[in-house]
Amino acid sequence: MTAHVRRAEPVEHPTLRIDPRERLDVAVEVLGLLADRTRLALLQRLVAGEADVSTLTEACGAARPSVSQHLAKLRLAGLVATRKEGRRVVYALRHGHLRHLVEEAFNVADHRLGGLPPHD
């Protein structure tokens, strides 16, 4: 099986042109953020819908200060959005693309763990 690698082409948009190297750097940054067990667990929970820090702490099993730090990194990277609900801060995924990326990461894990062949 041979892998076909597409050349990095600038992305055309009516109002902007994205440098392929910059695009690659941002993709590496996003995947690097996902390459942490706690952050991926947080994002996995957020795929199911909005949640506050207490819910997210319970879902990922990490200490609350750690969860808060990871959420701050995800927020600063623009991957999660926040809104206030009284005194609570509620988190949500910012992009549907991120939802698909997280879901696909777990689909790959399911295939590897289940011994299933990869599919396109």
Residue 28 lies in a domain: yes
Please count the structural domains in the chain.
Answer: 1
Domain of residue 103: give its range: 19-114
Residue 89 lies in a domain: yes
CATH of the domain at 26: 1.10.10.10
- Is the model's pLDDT at 45 over the cut of 70? yes
pLDDT given for residue 17 in this prediction: 84
pTM of this prediction?
A: 0.80
- DSSP one-letter code for 14: S
Residue 46 lies in a domain: yes
Residue 2 lies in a domain: no
Residue 9 lies in a domain: no
- Is the model's pLDDT at 1 over the cut of 50? no
Structure-derived torsion over alpha carbons of residues 68, 93, 47, 29, reported in degrees to the nearest 10: -80
- Is the model's pLDDT at 117 over the cut of 80? no
The confidence band for 63, taking pLDDT boundaries of 50, 70 and 90, is: very high
